[in-house]
Amino acid sequence: MDFVTADDKPDWRPLFDGYAEFYKTSITDQIADQVWDWLLDPAHELEGLIARDQRGKALGIAHVRACPRSLAGGYLGFLDDMFVAPEARGTGAADAIFSRLSKLAQERGWSALRWITQHFNERGRGFYDRYTGGPSDFIVYQLKRE
């Protein structure tokens, strides 16, 4: 489980596309290129991780960033995106991602790791429940710009 490098784009893109497809969102080349540029820019807050099997095949991705936590006067990690290829589910790839994210949070002194998911993501929610004991008591609101 490593941070993405410039050489990872051909493996990252199909996983990012799969993530978008799962959420029924269209990803243009322009959007994907923008996200990829963010992941490679050391000055940008979004970072990307890629999970591979022993032969080097890409199995999953995670995009994470530091997020200020004002009531703690510190930072937490925010997991923006996580996707494991359907054929890699149940192989331990998601566990490897979470293990690396947990280590990253510890290394960086993040007080917690947070993320959101859609209510219909039953398999993901079952996985997340194993790590957290269930969803938090927060409700997410979104004010859309039109």
What pLDDT tens digit does each residue of the chain (146 aa) get? 899 999 999 999 999 999 999 999 999 999 999 999 999 999 999 999 999 999 999 999 999 999 999 999 999 999 999 999 999 999 999 999 999 999 999 999 999 999 999 999 999 999 999 999 999 998 888 899 87
Q: What is the pTM of this model?
A: 0.93
Q: Which residues contact 40 (CB under 8 A, 6 or more apart)?
A: 4, 5, 6
